[in-house]
Chain A
């Protein structure tokens, strides 16, 4: 941002920890960052596949549309995302 001072990146104050060894809290946070990044890559892949399929069939899309998924594919991606989060969290159900 040119004119405005940047918004702070982090909220003030220490974050609470919950485990006897706070390293586990840290690892949970790292794992969630990783999971998010994984999903972002999956979503991008879905967009690329959609775009590639159009390329193959020769049905060219305007660039601005190329990476946007039609609603039914967005819905499929949302289901996949929910299933992914459930799998990611499933081990916690065993503790």
Chain B
């Protein structure tokens, strides 16, 4: 159920705070598993027969808005989302100074790892971050109270533990671990020397690359300084050398053809379309020939039924994710080609969660062709499969 953060930056919640977090996790699991299944059954029994043929996700939302069940599902889910952050914020605030001091020690301790942190206080924060609080996280990723402040990173990591009710793995890195294993199995000849993770936040999916390719130089990039401070300290705590860089992924301050793998996770859907395109052009520029651009993302609308599209877009309308639906309307293969990649070298795949299904399932997926035939793809609920796509340069 709830996996509480357990490395050196772990907070010290009171028993009441832990209980409050556990309650929110259980509530979310109920909403996203049980209520989601009930809602779909009601849709099929009561709403689908009235829908015009070819109705899309938007039409389904318009119809569902009148359904009492959808209203309860949504009202509970919005409140549960607020409760995620409210349940960890007091602990983060109380522990902030201790956490900052511990982070400084970890950073200085070169016997653990030799990671670096490069912040750029002059960097303009893009409006997709500065102008809103994505998924209702108060202060968003970038709220920076000054030197050494890593509270936004702590809020994000501890909140995500509550939010994901165990589905993201012990270290919240199931996405990265599953994908890195899949890539190694599918392309054993590919040995990246330089790996870049765009929009890395606190580095959850950055570090699995260092585990998978220990000789590689692994860099995580983000605009949010408090998340990067936390990412750096967390990597040091886990004994993995990684380099964190404050920069905008639409204009990466790294040389042409300096990377072999340009990765992102849960990132592109938080950007306006023009920035998504700029990021992909940057990936093309940064990659050496033979390199790989790889994104973990929500599956695109074209790959889903209208109902699943409606279901995933809930966040876009009600969870302060204004770019989510616009992102999912794009066709990944078109975007990849627009950025300069050869369309023939585009691929996508649904990778079983390593934590949920185990290694054998990832091996089987690595042998299979990339089809997306399940409503578990990209949906945070029991039995999730992670959707990835990419292209070789």
Contacts and interface: CB of A to CB of B under 8 A. Distances in A.
Residue among A7, A15, A82 with most chain B CB within 10 A: A7
Interface size class of A (residues with CB under 8 A): 35 or more
B34 A5 contact: no
B19 A40 contact: yes
B125 to A, nearest CB: 14
B15 A4 contact: no
A63 to B, nearest CB: 13
Nearest to A40: B19
Given A2-B97, A3-B97, A4-B96, A89 B155 contact: no
Given A4-B146, A36-B20, A39-B23, A11 B82 contact: yes
B157 interface: no
Nearest to B137: A11
A10 B146 CA distance: 20
Interface stretch (B70-78, B174-182, B270-278): B70-78
A19 B16 CA distance: 32
Contacts of B137: 11
A72 interface: no
Contact of B69 (A36, A81, A86, A95): A95
B143 interface: yes
Contacts of B74: 16, 18
A39 B19 contact: yes
Given A4-B145, A11-B133, A18-B71, A32 B34 contact: no
B54 interface: no
A86 B133 contact: no
A52 interface: no
A7 B83 contact: no
Nearest to B134: A11
Contact of B132 (A6, A13, A44): A13
B85 interface: yes
B138 A67 contact: no
A65 to B, nearest CB: 12
B317 interface: yes
A11 B136 contact: yes
B151 interface: yes
B44 to A, nearest CB: 16
Interface string B98-126: 00000000000000000000000000000
Contacts of B133: 8, 11-13
A9 B20 contact: no
B93 interface: yes
Contacts of B85: 11
B35 interface: yes
Nearest to A37: B20
Given A4-B146, A7-B93, A11-B137, A43 B22 contact: yes
B281 interface: no
B23 A7 contact: no
Nearest to B31: A89
B83 A36 contact: yes
B16 A16 contact: no
A89 B35 CA distance: 9
Contacts of A1: 93-94, 96-97
A19 B68 CA distance: 8
Contacts of B96: 1, 4
B22 A81 contact: yes
Interface in B23-73: 23-24, 26-27, 29-30, 34-35, 38, 65, 68-73
Contacts of B1: 78
A15 B248 CA distance: 29
Interface string B3-20: 000000000000110111
A12 B132 contact: yes
A28 to B, nearest CB: 4
B80 interface: yes
A81 B26 contact: yes
B36 to A, nearest CB: 12
Interface of A: 1-13, 15-19, 24-25, 28-29, 32-33, 35-36, 39-40, 42-44, 47, 67-68, 78, 81-82, 85-86, 89, 92-93, 95
The 3 closest A-B pairs by CB, nearest first: A11-B133, A43-B19, A4-B145
Given A7-B152, A40-B23, A89-B35, 9 more contacts: A11-B136, A19-B75, A28-B72, A32-B83, A36-B27, A42-B19, A44-B16, A78-B1, A85-B30
